[in-house]
Amino acid sequence: MSVFVIGDIHGGLKALQQLLERLQLSKEDQLIFLGDYVDGWSESAQVIQYLIELSETNECVFIKGNHDVWCEDWLRTRQGEPVWLAHGGKETIDSYEGFSEDKKKQHLYFFEDMPLYHIDDYNRLFIHAGFTSIRGVDYEKNKTNCYFDRTLWEMALTLDKRIQKTPALYPNRLKQYYEIYIGHTPTIRYNNEEPMNAINVWNVDTGAAFTGKLSAIDIETKAIFQSDVLLDLYPNELGRNKR
């Protein structure tokens, strides 16, 4: 059995299907998704439907991202936040054309059931963005940090990798977990097309919404798997590059 962590999908169903093929999944494999399933490419609703069906054959953990919070709100109220509409929400609404009200309710329940984070038996944390409490995510007062915070990743990037976990200089936030897996901040911002590791934090968002690929990591071997560039998979679309 393998456990794979998958980064931000952003409506790229073709990339998701291609990536899962390259993983050569068995039914015993577990999949942990780090959120942001929607907003970007034209198949957001189709991605959600595919994930619901995938969860019937494989053990899956679906973490909630900020774009998922916006889509959930729209499915509940049919009113889209202006910031969401300007960052992929309009394309997501368009992708729901032809979906019945029952299907939309099913998708709403799917979003509502998503946890903000997951901690496994080995004290590995899986979260969309980050957290600020030095005592760990369970003590986070502002839960929106789970899907908006970037300071955790920025802090990890600035640390000298020679610092060990025992000295007082090592940040308490990072001491709380054996490893931390995040999405939210595309690695292509750092001219890196693959997942990045800083101290004990792994960033698996490789810019699938923009000019990058969709990525997965085997958490035991640290093997990296990737789809093709999404601009190639959707040659007649721009994703979120037009924004």
pLDDT at 118: 98
Q: Does residue 111 form part of some domain?
A: yes
Residues 6+ apart with CB under 8 A from 13: 41, 43, 46, 47, 50
Q: Does residue 161 form part of some domain?
A: yes
pLDDT tops 80 at residue 78: yes
Whole-model pTM? Answer: 0.96
Q: Does residue 53 form part of some domain?
A: yes
pLDDT at 243: 53
Q: Which residue has the higher pLDDT, 46 or 168?
A: 46
Residue 12: strand, helix, or coil: coil
Span 21-47, pLDDT tens digits: 999 999 999 999 999 999 999 999 999
Span 90-109, pLDDT tens digits: 999 999 999 999 999 999 99
Q: Which residue has the higher pLDDT, 165 or 196?
A: 196
Range of the domain at 201: 3-233
99 and 146 in contact (C-beta within 8 Å)?
A: no
What's the whole-number average pLDDT of the chain? 96
Q: Does residue 240 form part of some domain?
A: no
Instruction: Give the span between the Cα atoms of 226 and 206, in whole angstroms.
Output: 9
Instruction: Give the span between the Cα atoms of 224 and 60, in whole angstroms.
Output: 19
Query: Which H or E run includes 47?
Result: helix 44-54
Instruction: Give the span between the Cα atoms of 207 and 192, in whole angstroms.
Output: 10
Report how many domains make up the chain. 1
Percent of the chain with pLDDT over 90: 94
Q: Does residue 167 form part of some domain?
A: yes
Q: Does residue 227 form part of some domain?
A: yes
